[in-house]
Amino acid sequence: MSITRRQFLIFSSLTGFGLAALGKTLQGHTAQSAAGYAITATAEEAATIASLRLSRPIFRFVSLADTGTGTRGQYVVAKAMTRYHQQHPFDLAILAGDNIYDTGEIQKIEAVFEKPYQPLLDAGVKFQACLGNHDIATDNGTPQVKYAGFNMSGRYYTFRRDSIQFFALDTNYNADWKTQLPWLEKELSASDAPWKIVFGHHPVYSAGLHGSSKKLKQILRPLFEKYNVRLYINGHDHNYERTQVVKGTTYLTCGAGAGTRPVGHSEVTAHSVSKLSFAAIDIYPTHILLSGIDKNNQIFDQGIILLNS
């Protein structure tokens, strides 16, 4: 295996968290991270990842889902997020649904949200949530929509941070798609943000327990392709899965924020694992660096999303 002098200089300059995180595969050879996870990348991808790790992103956020159990699993992931925040500050966390188990009772909010994430909340991290299927079991999720800590301006809504426009969706069985879908297209078409990121609870593509959604493929994928949505984030399946680019969009399942279930591998899967985890997303002018991070703060997956793909 050979590498260019430029790649050698980049790799040899990495230290600490970045070196442990960077699984390098050059010319088809797979390397191991410090935790022993295999991380596969082409030589070009490895060089790009290394280069990005040496520069400062214009924005960083984290995402996770299926969190609201109040169990040990949730708390260990929350602690890992806090440790990550200390090394790599962020001020936004996306909660992709099932924020309160089992039936969305807002009375549990202290145990399943305020206590586990208190250090992050105290540090000024803003959580933006959407509704999952468990959340709507109580009053159709209305108490959560009204809860200030979830920062929801409705069952579906949009907000902008720097050069990124976020779009939160209600993907539940009783979602009002007759109103929501025209709203989404209107907002996507009106946005001049270079990066457009959509999140909802249910997966479009998934090799997990619940699998892919034929309906969401039909109604969302054409809009994502038309308006250059580069990333869709979801939960529902309790695992981590990053897809290959599908018609311009990468699909990220980050539903292992409190517990795990088995996950397989489909024709569009780039990386999947059943491991307590969250995702960190670093935004650059022309790239996104997406990292899967486990409860021990080890990066077990990294992928690149291009602005113009």
pTM of whole model > 0.85? yes
Q: Does 29 share its domain with 150?
A: no
130, exposed or middle or buried, with CB in 10 Å at 0-12, 13-18, 19+? buried
Going by their DSSP bridges, the two strands 195-199 and 269-273 should be labelled as unpaired
pLDDT tens track for 47-94: 889 889 889 999 999 999 999 999 999 999 999 999 999 999 999 999
* pLDDT over threshold 60, residue 28: no
Tell me the residue range of the domain where 273 lies.
Answer: 57-306
**CA separation for the pair 305, 154 (Å, rounded):** 29
Q: Does 93 share its domain with 198?
A: yes
Q: Does 30 share its domain with 106?
A: no
Please give the tally of structural domains in the chain.
2
Higher pLDDT, 47 or 20: 47
* pLDDT over threshold 70, residue 22: no
Q: Does 18 share its domain with 155?
A: no
Q: Does 44 share its domain with 77?
A: no
* pLDDT over threshold 50, residue 12: no
* pLDDT over threshold 70, residue 256: yes
Q: Please, which pLDDT band fits residue 266 given cuts at 50, 70 and 90?
A: very high
DSSP state of 244: P
The backbone torsions φ and ψ at residue 52, rounded to the nearest 5 degrees and listed phi first, read: -65, -40
Q: Please, which pLDDT band fits residue 27 given cuts at 50, 70 and 90?
A: very low
* pLDDT over threshold 90, residue 18: no
* pLDDT over threshold 50, residue 36: no
Q: Does 272 share its domain with 221?
A: yes
Domain stop point among 14, 40, 55: 55
Q: Mean pLDDT throughout 220-242? A: 98
Q: Mean pLDDT throughout 221-250? A: 98
pLDDT tens track for 119-172: 999 999 999 999 999 999 999 999 999 999 999 999 999 999 999 999 999 999
Q: Does 198 share its domain with 260?
A: yes
pLDDT for residue 40? 58
Length of the chain: 309
pLDDT mean across residues, the chain? 89
Q: Please, which pLDDT band fits residue 44 given cuts at 50, 70 and 90?
A: confident
28, exposed or middle or buried, with CB in 10 Å at 0-12, 13-18, 19+? exposed
pLDDT for residue 21? 39
Q: Does 216 share its domain with 119?
A: yes
Q: Does 24 share its domain with 153?
A: no
**CA separation for the pair 309, 307 (Å, rounded):** 6
* pLDDT over threshold 90, residue 3: no
pLDDT for residue 46? 86
Q: Please, which pLDDT band fits residue 39 given cuts at 50, 70 and 90?
A: low
Q: Does 3 share its domain with 136?
A: no
Q: Does 18 share its domain with 61?
A: no
Domain stop point among 38, 55, 72: 55
Q: Please, which pLDDT band fits residue 43 given cuts at 50, 70 and 90?
A: confident
Q: Does 32 share its domain with 177?
A: no
Question: For position 209, which CATH number holds?
Answer: 3.60.21.10
Q: Which of 30-34, 54-58, 171-175, 199-203 has the lowest mean pLDDT?
A: 30-34
If you compute the radius of gyration of the chain from its CA atoms, what whole number of angstroms results?
A: 18
Q: Mean pLDDT throughout 217-237? A: 98
Cα separations in angstroms, 308 against 58, 183, 229, 248: 17, 25, 11, 9
pLDDT for residue 23? 37
